[in-house]
Chains A and B, each alone.
Chain A
Amino acid sequence: MLRARALVGFAVACGAFVPAVFAQTDVAGDWDQAGGGIFGFQEEFLDRGGGPDLGDYAGLPINDALRYKASLYSPSWLTVPEHQCLPHPSTYQYRSPGGLSIVKEYDSVTQQLVAYHFFGSYGLARTVWMDGRPHPPAAARHTYEGFSTGRWEGNRLAVETTHLKAGFLRRNGIAHSDRARMLEYWVRHDDYLALVTAVDDPLYLDEPFVRSTDFRLDPRANTRLAEFGGFANGGDGEGFGASDVFYKCVPSEEIAIERGRVPSFMPGANDSLDMFAKRHAVPLAAALGGSATLYPEFAQSLRAGGSAAGGEPSAARSPQSASPSAARSRRSPESPAVAPSAPTAVTSMHVAGRVWLVTAGDRNVAVQVGDEGVLIVNPGPEALAEDVLAKIHELAPDKRVRVIVMTDDDALHIGGTAKLAAGPTPRAQRAAVIAHENASLRIAAAESSEGHSPTDTFFRGTRELFFNGEPIEIIHAPAATSDGDLLVFLRESDVVVAGSVIPDLTYPAIRTDEGGTVNGTIEALNRILDLTIAEYRAQGGTTVITDRGRVYDEGDVAEYRDMLTITRDRVQDAIDKGLTLEQVKAARLARDYDGRYGAESGPASADVFMTTMYRSLAAAPK
C-alpha cells in the first residue's frame, strides 16, 4: 500500500512538472522538408530545386558590388577543379534537398550538453557548440560551415556563426563574402521546425538578408540521408542512392579546362542576364534586386508601372556600368564576434604539425619548432622583433633560431631579422638567413640593411632543406609581386607560406619596377594550388599562411586566385578593346572586389592596383 502511494506521488509530481517544461521545445530529431520527402519544398521551389535563373536577384538586399559580381558569374565556374566539390555553406545548406538530422552531444562525465550536430540537407555536417567556448581568433581558418555557438532564448535556439568562407546565397552567382556573419533561430512549433537565418555582409548586402526554412518531424527522415549516399554508402547503382557523390567528392576532369582558367562573363557580355526578367515579365531593374525590391512600395510601383521599378535598369542599377553608388561598401558589421588584432599585438596560434603562426601587428610570421631549433619565415617588422622573439621563446623554450627564410625584401617582412637571427651571446653563431638572390641584392642596396643581409641565397627554381625532421621546399616564384618572391612548403606539416603573393587583407602589391607582374603573381597562386590538397569538400587539408590576415586553405587560395584572374581578364579584355587607363579606371572593373581587397592607400589601393594591372598587362608580351 505504501509503495502504491509513493508511486502515485511520484507520478503526480512528474506530471505536474514535465508537461510545462518539456513541451516540444527541443530541436533534436529527424526532420523532413516541410512538404515531405527530399524535394518537398513549398517555398523557393525553383531556387532550391532545379536552380534559379541567371539574373534572378529580386527580393535580395544586394548592393551594386554584388549585383555586378553576380551579373558576370558563369555557371562554368563550377568546372574549375578547385570548385567542383564546393559544398553549400551553412548560410545556404538548409535550403537544399534531403532530410535533416539534429543530434545532441553530451559530456560523458558532467552530462552537460556540449553541442548540437546537424547532418544532412545536402550540406556539410555541422556543429553548434553549446558549452560556452569562445569563437576562434581572427587569424583562424574559415570554413563553409563556419564556427557556430548557440544558446537557448526561451523556446528558441539562437546560433551565431563566424569564420565563414565566401559562398553562395543563391546558386546564380549571388554570394556572400568571407566577412559575412550569420544569426539563426531554430524554433519548434508542434511538429514543425522553423529556421530563421539572417546573414549580414558589410561588403555585399545593404541590410541583413533574412529568410526562413521549414521542416516537419518525421522519424523516417534520417533515411533521406542514406538516399543521398551520406551514411549508408549504399544504393542500388542508380539515382540518389548510387554513391557518396553528395557528401564525398573528388575533382575530376569532366571537361577540358586549361590550368588556371577561371570562367566568367566579361562586362557587358552576359546575354542571359535578363533570363528571369523575360520569363516572368518583370522589368530588368526589378529582377536585379536590391533592398527596395523587398518592400510593399516596390509592389505598388510595379502595379502602377511606375518609375521605381523602371522598364530598364537605370544607370545606377545597371550591373554592367560603373556608378557612384557602386562605391566600395564598407558598412561596419555590428558587434563583430571576432575582434581584429591590435596593430602592435603579438599573438600565436598553432597552425599544423610543427608550424605556428605568430602575428606581429598585421604581419604574419611563420614559425617551425622542432628538436633542431626554430625556423622562421619572415621575421616581421623591426619594431616588434623583441615581442616576436619573446613569443617564440614561449613556444620553444631553450631553442635557438637556426634558420630564417625571407620570402622577399619587404621591410615589414625582414625588419626583425637582425634581432631574431642573433645568437644568445655575441659570439654565438647567427641563424642562417635564406633569400632569393634578387631580393638579397635589393636588401644589400638598402640603407638600413645592417644585420638583415641574407647569408644564403640561390638563383635556381627551388632550394631544398631538411630541418626538424621535415623536408622543406623553398620555391622561387619568378616575376610575381617582384623578381625575388619565395614560397615555402613545409611538407610534413603540410603548410605553405605564401609571403607577398597572398596578402589576404588587400590586393597584392605588385612592384613592376622590381620585376613584378600580374601574370607572374597569378602563376604563383596557381603554383600554390598545385601544392595544396583539400581534405574534404574543397576545404581543410594543406594550410597556407598568408602575408597578413587569416590563414587559408585551398578553397581560400582559389578564391584569391579567382579574384586576380577574373580582374586580369576584364582588364585584358578592355585593353584588347582599346580602352585607355583612364577609361578602365572609370569603368571600375574590379568594383566587386574593391571593398574586400582595396587598401585605403598605397600600392594595394583600388586605384593604384588598377594602374599597376593595366600597365603590367599592356607591357606583357602577347
Chain B
Amino acid sequence: MESWGELRPLAALASFAFALAAAGQPPTPQAPRSPRAAAQFDVTGNWVAQITEDWRWRMITPPKGDYASVPLNQAGRQAADRWDPAADAAAGEQCRAFGAGGLMRLPTRLKIGWADDTTLRVETDLGQQVRTLHFGETVQDPGARSWQGHSVAEWLGVAQAANPFGGLVAPTQEAAAARSGVGPGAGGPASAVVPVARGSLKVMTTNLRPGYLRKNGVPYSEQAIVTEYLDRFAMFGNDYLQVVTVVTDPMYLTTPFVVSNQFKREPDDSKWNPTACATDAPAGTFQRPTF
C-alpha cells in the first residue's frame, strides 16, 4: 500500500485539476438556458448578400455545363449537362435553385428572427423561402422532403474560463488585450474591431428535395447533407454575417463542396423585395477555359 508521501504529488495534481475545472464552472448550479438566451451572438435582423466572389455564377445564370470548381462526379456532370430550365418551369420546380444547398449563395436579402426560444426563422426575399432552424432537437419526424429540408442548429462556443497554459483560449488574451489596450487598432484611436460574437452557429440540414448548387442546374441530390457555420464580424464600422456552407452528397459530389458567403447588416427591411422562384435562361454559351 502506498504511503501518503508517495501519493502527495498525485493528490496535488488532482486538486489542481479540480480547481481548474471549478474555475471554468458557474459558482452555483443554474437552470439550463434556452438557445435564445445562450446565443453566442445576435444573428437576428436584416442582412443583404454581398456578391464579391464567383460573381458570374451567382449574379447571372451561367451557361449549361459551366460547373467549374464544383467537385461533381460523373453522375453529377451528366445531371448538370441535362439541365433544362424550361422543363423545370413546366414541372413546377422553379425553386430547385433556391433550396438550402444553394440558397445562401444567391443575391438575396435575409430576415432572421426567433420564432420562439428554440427556433430561428430565416426568410429570403429572393425566392421567398423560409428556413426553420431547430435547436436541441433529438428525434422528430421531419415530414416530407422539402427545398429547405430539416435543419438542426447548435451554438459552438468557448468556455468562459481562463486558460492557465496561455495561448489557446480566447478569453485570456482578450482580457489581456483589453487591459493593455493593445491588439488591433493599437497605436491609434479606438480599434476598428468591435467584438460582436464569441462563438459560431452550426446548422445541419437533411431531408432535402433535390436541388441546384448553381442556377444552371449543377445538382445536389436528396442524399445531400448541408452543414453551415454562421459567424458575425464587425469590420470597419460594418456588421457582417458570414455563412460557410459545406455540402456533402454521395450521389453527385466526389468531395464536400465548401463555399462561404457574406451578408452585410441593413438597418431595416426597406429594401426587402419579395420575388418568386424563377428559372432564368443562361447568359451566353459556356466556353471551357483553355489553360
Q: Which residues of A contact B (CB under 8 A)?
A: 1-3, 6-7, 9-10, 13-14, 16-17, 20-23, 25-26, 34-36, 41-46, 49-51, 58-61, 104, 106, 111-113, 130, 132-135, 149-156, 158-160, 181, 183, 185, 187, 189, 192, 194, 196, 198, 200, 207-214, 216, 279-282, 286, 293-300, 302-303, 334-339
Residues of B228-252 whose CB lies within 8 A of A: 229, 231, 233, 235-238, 240, 242, 244, 246
Nearest CB on B from A559, distance (A): 24
Beta-carbon contact of B258 and A214 below 8 Å: yes
Given known A-B contacts A189-B244, A194-B244, A155 and B11 have beta carbons under 8 A apart: no
Cβ–Cβ < 8 Å partners of B4 in chain A: 2
Residues of B68-92 whose CB lies within 8 A of A: 68-71
Can you identify 17 A-B contacts, CB atoms within 8 angstroms? A10-B14, A13-B17, A17-B17, A61-B52, A104-B167, A132-B183, A149-B184, A151-B182, A155-B157, A159-B184, A198-B236, A280-B62, A281-B284, A302-B60, A334-B237, A336-B189, A338-B187
Cβ–Cβ < 8 Å partners of A59 in chain B: 51-53, 55, 59
Name the contact of B193 in the complex, choosing from A44, A154, A183, A279 (C-beta under 8 A).
A183
When chains A and B are docked, how far (Å) is the Cα of A295 from the Cα of B170?
A: 34
Q: Which of B165, B182, B285 is packed against the most chain A CB atoms within 10 Å?
A: B182
When chains A and B are docked, how far (Å) is the Cα of A520 from the Cα of B255?
A: 59
Q: Which of A9, A49, A150 is packed against the most chain B CB atoms within 10 Å?
A: A9
Residue of B nearest to A302 (CB): B60
When chains A and B are docked, how far (Å) is the Cα of A13 from the Cα of B11?
A: 12
Cβ–Cβ < 8 Å partners of A7 in chain B: 10, 14
Given known A-B contacts A26-B168, A41-B69, A293-B59, A50 and B291 have beta carbons under 8 A apart: yes
When chains A and B are docked, how far (Å) is the Cα of A260 from the Cα of B183?
A: 42
When chains A and B are docked, how far (Å) is the Cα of A106 from the Cα of B168?
A: 11
Nearest CB on B from A157, distance (A): 8
Beta-carbon contact of B159 and A21 below 8 Å: yes
Write out, one digit per residue, whether chain B residues 5-45 have a CB within 8 A of any chain A CB (1) or not (0). Answer: 01100110110011011001100000000000000100000
Beta-carbon contact of A299 and B197 below 8 Å: no
When chains A and B are docked, how far (Å) is the Cα of A105 from the Cα of B190?
A: 28
Q: Which of A21, A185, A279 is packed against the most chain B CB atoms within 10 Å?
A: A21
Given known A-B contacts A58-B59, A113-B166, A17 and B195 have beta carbons under 8 A apart: no
Name the contact of A198 in the complex, choosing from B168, B176, B182, B235 (C-beta under 8 A).
B235
Nearest CB on A from B157, distance (A): 7
Beta-carbon contact of A10 and B17 below 8 Å: yes
When chains A and B are docked, how far (Å) is the Cα of A18 from the Cα of B73?
A: 40
Given known A-B contacts A43-B69, A151-B173, A335 and B18 have beta carbons under 8 A apart: no
Cβ–Cβ < 8 Å partners of B59 in chain A: 58-59, 286, 293, 298-299, 302
When chains A and B are docked, how far (Å) is the Cα of A469 from the Cα of B287?
A: 65
Cβ–Cβ < 8 Å partners of B184 in chain A: 149-151, 158-160, 183, 337
Cβ–Cβ < 8 Å partners of A299 in chain B: 51, 59-60, 107
When chains A and B are docked, how far (Å) is the Cα of A486 from the Cα of B55?
A: 51
Write out, one digit per residue, whether chain B residues 144-167 have a CB within 8 A of any chain A CB (1) or not (0). Answer: 000000000000111101010111
Nearest CB on B from A302, distance (A): 6
B174 contacts partner chain A, Cβ-Cβ < 8 Å: yes
Beta-carbon contact of A210 and B14 below 8 Å: no
B141 contacts partner chain A, Cβ-Cβ < 8 Å: no
Write out, one digit per residue, whether chain B residues 168-189 have a CB within 8 A of any chain A CB (1) or not (0). Answer: 1111111011001011111111
A3-B10, A211-B53 known; 11 new pairs, CB 8 Å cut-off, are: A1-B1, A2-B7, A16-B24, A25-B158, A58-B56, A113-B173, A132-B182, A155-B158, A189-B156, A194-B244, A296-B108
Residue of B nearest to A2 (CB): B7
Beta-carbon contact of B126 and A296 below 8 Å: yes
Nearest CB on A from B79, distance (A): 18
Q: Which of B180, B190, B255 is packed against the most chain A CB atoms within 10 Å?
A: B255
B131 contacts partner chain A, Cβ-Cβ < 8 Å: no
Interface of B, secondary structure class, is loop
B109 contacts partner chain A, Cβ-Cβ < 8 Å: yes
Residue of B nearest to A153 (CB): B195
Nearest CB on A from B254, distance (A): 9
B120 contacts partner chain A, Cβ-Cβ < 8 Å: no
Ordered nearest first, which 5 A-B pairs have the shortest CB separation?
A281-B284, A154-B198, A13-B17, A160-B184, A152-B170
Beta-carbon contact of B168 and A160 below 8 Å: no
When chains A and B are docked, how far (Å) is the Cα of A159 from the Cα of B173?
A: 13
B268 contacts partner chain A, Cβ-Cβ < 8 Å: no
When chains A and B are docked, how far (Å) is the Cα of A113 from the Cα of B168?
A: 8
Given known A-B contacts A134-B182, A155-B199, A210 and B17 have beta carbons under 8 A apart: no
Residue of B nearest to A111 (CB): B166
B137 contacts partner chain A, Cβ-Cβ < 8 Å: no
Interface of A, secondary structure class, is mixed
Beta-carbon contact of A21 and B158 below 8 Å: yes
Given known A-B contacts A59-B55, A155-B157, A192 and B246 have beta carbons under 8 A apart: yes
When chains A and B are docked, how far (Å) is the Cα of A294 from the Cα of B108?
A: 11
Nearest CB on B from A60, distance (A): 7
Beta-carbon contact of B284 and A44 below 8 Å: no
Cβ–Cβ < 8 Å partners of B273 in chain A: 296, 300
Question: Considering only CB atoms and an 8 Å cut-off, how many residues of chain B contact the other chain?
Answer: 104
When chains A and B are docked, how far (Å) is the Cα of A211 from the Cα of B24?
A: 35
Beta-carbon contact of A210 and B159 below 8 Å: no
When chains A and B are docked, how far (Å) is the Cα of A43 from the Cα of B285?
A: 21
Name the contact of A335 in the complex, choosing from B191, B244, B283 (C-beta under 8 A).
B191
Name the contact of B69 in the complex, choosing from A3, A45, A133, A189 (C-beta under 8 A).
A45
Cβ–Cβ < 8 Å partners of A335 in chain B: 185, 188-192
Residue of B nearest to A49 (CB): B291
Nearest CB on A from B219, distance (A): 16
Name the contact of A185 in the complex, choosing from B55, B182, B231 (C-beta under 8 A).
B231
When chains A and B are docked, how far (Å) is the Cα of A135 from the Cα of B181?
A: 12
When chains A and B are docked, how far (Å) is the Cα of A6 from the Cα of B187?
A: 50
When chains A and B are docked, how far (Å) is the Cα of A22 from the Cα of B20?
A: 13
B46 contacts partner chain A, Cβ-Cβ < 8 Å: no
Cβ–Cβ < 8 Å partners of A3 in chain B: 2, 6-7, 10
Cβ–Cβ < 8 Å partners of B69 in chain A: 35, 41-43, 45
Given known A-B contacts A1-B1, A42-B259, A211-B53, A194 and B173 have beta carbons under 8 A apart: no
When chains A and B are docked, how far (Å) is the Cα of A505 from the Cα of B98?
A: 50
Beta-carbon contact of A152 and B174 below 8 Å: yes
Write out, one digit per residue, whether chain B residues 260-288 have a CB within 8 A of any chain A CB (1) or not (0). Answer: 11101000000101010000100111010
Beta-carbon contact of B192 and A13 below 8 Å: no
Q: Which of A194, A297, A298 is packed against the most chain B CB atoms within 10 Å?
A: A194
Beta-carbon contact of B185 and A154 below 8 Å: no
When chains A and B are docked, how far (Å) is the Cα of A211 from the Cα of B284?
A: 27
When chains A and B are docked, how far (Å) is the Cα of A612 from the Cα of B185?
A: 40
Name the contact of A154 in the complex, choosing from B158, B236, B261 (C-beta under 8 A).
B158
When chains A and B are docked, how far (Å) is the Cα of A36 from the Cα of B69?
A: 12
When chains A and B are docked, how far (Å) is the Cα of A185 from the Cα of B242?
A: 11
Cβ–Cβ < 8 Å partners of B285 in chain A: 281
Cβ–Cβ < 8 Å partners of B6 in chain A: 3
Beta-carbon contact of B200 and A187 below 8 Å: yes
Beta-carbon contact of B235 and A208 below 8 Å: yes
Beta-carbon contact of A17 and B158 below 8 Å: no
Beta-carbon contact of A10 and B158 below 8 Å: no
Given known A-B contacts A155-B170, A295-B107, A13 and B236 have beta carbons under 8 A apart: no
Beta-carbon contact of B187 and A112 below 8 Å: no
Residue of A nearest to B190 (CB): A335
Given known A-B contacts A10-B17, A183-B193, A153 and B7 have beta carbons under 8 A apart: no
Given known A-B contacts A10-B10, A194-B242, A302-B60, A339 and B187 have beta carbons under 8 A apart: yes
